[in-house]
């Protein structure tokens, strides 16, 4: 009987709870003993590890966030703490590890493997969708749907008051959330870090539209662009001549009831990851692209910045 543990690291996403549920149910089905590591690598260092039961995961499939907590651990970057983490795993005879997180979390995992040979499988989980080698990261669909609902609501007030709304989306240096939102929310402007822009080039067009009766603008800006969202709003007031407001969507983008797509992806990611570990795969990340699920090495996943889909980018 083998022991297997799971942890969540970095920014949480909606889809982690459905993944935890599948993890407990599928590992038990396979004759493994599942463990939860609470609060990411911090819990691994502090020995906050407990055997997981069916009751731990009942009633969580519809909840965003993660029942076992997440964290960004600075201590795990230090060798002495990784040694303690390994000792904690040894005490519980855990030699298989699954990590839900982003590329930063996977880098730490890679070092851990090199030092202590703990077999792992990473599951890409970040609303930023910035992990090289996979077209889908857990949580994206829920995040996009939360953004969609928020923008639909903002549109109601924008049209009533005749204003420009500058809506800031998350994503760090990746403009994925902003770009998809722009293409699916009918916004007038989209600014992302991947594409250089010049506000002046929009001035005449927007002014003419206002003169012809346009009542409002929706502008989607990604948090990673070179300017502050307030500067974009000021530009609307000063150069386009329309009252404007900034709306920073913030952390609502990370929460909410997981969509059907994220629940299903959680189910499949975990199932493939458990199978891979049982088949002897030692250090991989499960990825998803148009050909389906496949496994990639940490090097490939973490060494390059993910590029935005060229076709989507060409629509900007
Ligand atoms: O990486 C996920 C993410 O939500 C980013 O989009 C955002 O920049 C960051 O985390 C916010 O981090 P925190 O929750 O620490 O404020």
> 1: CA distance to ligand 1 center in Å?
38
Probe ligand 1: pick from 124, 138, 172, max atoms within 8 Å of CB? 172
Question: Would the CB of 168 count as within 6 Å of ligand 1?
Answer: no
- pLDDT tens digits, 236-249: 999 999 999 999 99
The gap between the terminal CA atoms of the chain, to the nearest Å, is 53
Question: Would the CB of 70 count as within 6 Å of ligand 1?
Answer: no
Question: Would the CB of 127 count as within 6 Å of ligand 1?
Answer: yes
| SS3 of residue 7 by DSSP | strand
Give me the pLDDT at residue 87, please.
98
Probe ligand 1: pick from 11, 102, 221, 222, max atoms within 8 Å of CB? 11
Q: Which element (helix H / strand E) includes 292?
A: strand 292-297
Name which residue sits closest to atom 2 of ligand 1, judged by CA: 11
> Which alpha helices (DSSP H) does 175-259 contain, by range?
176-185, 200-211, 229-235
Question: Would the CB of 170 count as within 6 Å of ligand 1?
Answer: yes
Q: What CA–CA distances, in Å, run from 167 to 79, 148, 174, 208? A: 42, 11, 16, 22
The atom number, within ligand 1, closest to the CA of 127 reads 2
What confidence category does residue 76 fall into, taking pLDDT thresholds of 50, 70 and 90?
Answer: very high
Question: Would the CB of 11 count as within 6 Å of ligand 1?
Answer: yes
d(CA 63, CA 152): 23
Residue 201 has pLDDT above 80, yes or no: yes
Question: Would the CB of 175 count as within 6 Å of ligand 1?
Answer: no
14 contacts 257 by C-beta, under 8 angstroms:
yes
> 236: CA distance to ligand 1 center in Å?
27
> 169: CA distance to ligand 1 center in Å?
11
51 contacts 19 by C-beta, under 8 angstroms:
no
Give me the pLDDT at residue 114, please.
95
| SS3 of residue 239 by DSSP | helix
Q: How would DSSP label each residue in 52-87?
A: --GGGGTT-TT--S-TT-----SGGGSHHHHHHHHH
The atom number, within ligand 1, closest to the CA of 170 reads 6
What confidence category does residue 50 fall into, taking pLDDT thresholds of 50, 70 and 90?
Answer: very high
Closest to 163 measured CA to CA, from 227, 217, 200, 96: 217
State the catalytic residue, choosing from 12, 103, 128, 130. 128
Mean pLDDT of the chain: 97
DSSP 259: P
What confidence category does residue 1 fall into, taking pLDDT thresholds of 50, 70 and 90?
Answer: confident
Question: Would the CB of 126 count as within 6 Å of ligand 1?
Answer: yes
Predicted structure pTM score: 0.97
Domains and their CATH numbers in the chain: 3-139+258-304 (3.40.50.450), 141-254 (3.40.50.460)
Give me the pLDDT at residue 19, please.
98
Contacts of residue 79, defined as CB under 8 A and 6 or more positions apart, other chains included, come to: 115
* Percentage of residues in the chain having pLDDT higher than 70: 100
171 contacts 303 by C-beta, under 8 angstroms:
no
Contacts of residue 221, defined as CB under 8 A and 6 or more positions apart, other chains included, come to: 166, 167, 168, 169, 178, 189, 190, 191, 192, 229, 232
Name which residue sits closest to atom 13 of ligand 1, judged by CA: 11
In terms of residues, how long is the chain?
316
Q: Which tokens belong to 72?
A: 């960004």
* Percentage of residues in the chain having pLDDT higher than 90: 98
CA dihedral of 151, 153, 156, 158, whole degrees rounded to 10 = -50
What number is the average pLDDT over the span 130-142? 97
Orientation angle between helical segments 260-278 and 140-161, nearest 10 degrees: 160
Residue 112 has pLDDT above 80, yes or no: yes
Q: Is there a catalytic annotation at residue 39?
A: no
Closest to 262 measured CA to CA, from 115, 88, 143: 143
């Amino acid at each position: 009987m083998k022991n297997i543990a799971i942890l969540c690291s970095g920014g949480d996403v909606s889809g982690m709870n459905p993944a935890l549920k599948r993890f407990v149910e599928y590992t038990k089905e396979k004759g493994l003993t599942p463990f939860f590591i609470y609060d990411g690598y911090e819990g691994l260092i502090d020995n906050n590890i407990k055997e997981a039961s069916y009751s731990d995961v009942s009633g969580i499939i519809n909840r965003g966030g993660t029942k076992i907590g997440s964290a960004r651990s600075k201590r795990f970057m230090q060798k002495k703490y990784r040694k303690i983490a390994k000792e904690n795993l040894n005490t519980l005879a855990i030699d298989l590890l699954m990590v839900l997180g982003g590329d930063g979390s996977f880098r730490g995992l890679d070092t851990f493997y090199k030092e202590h040979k703990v077999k792992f499988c990473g599951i890409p989980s970040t609303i930023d969708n910035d992990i090289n080698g996979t077209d889908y990261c857990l949580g994206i669909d829920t995040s996009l749907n939360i953004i969609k609902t928020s923008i639909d609501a903002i549109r109601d007030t924008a049209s009533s008051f005749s204003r420009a709304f500058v809506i800031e989306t998350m994503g760090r240096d990746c403009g994925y959330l902003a770009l998809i939102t722009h293409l699916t929310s009918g916004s007038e402007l989209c600014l992302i870090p991947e594409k250089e822009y010049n506000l002046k080039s929009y001035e005449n067009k927007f002014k003419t539209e206002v003169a012809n009766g346009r009542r409002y603008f929706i502008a989607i800006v990604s948090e990673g662009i070179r300017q502050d969202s307030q500067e974009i709003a000021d530009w609307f007031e000063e150069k386009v001549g329309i009252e404007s407001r900034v709306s920073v969507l913030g952390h609502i983008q990370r929460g909410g009831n997981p969509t059907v797509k994220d629940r299903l992806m959680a189910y499949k990611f975990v199932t493939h990851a458990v199978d891979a570990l049982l088949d002897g795969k030692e250090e991989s990340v499960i990825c998803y692209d148009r050909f389906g699920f496949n496994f990639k090495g940490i090097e490939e996943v973490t060494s390059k910045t993910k590029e935005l889909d060229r076709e989507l980018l060409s629509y900007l």
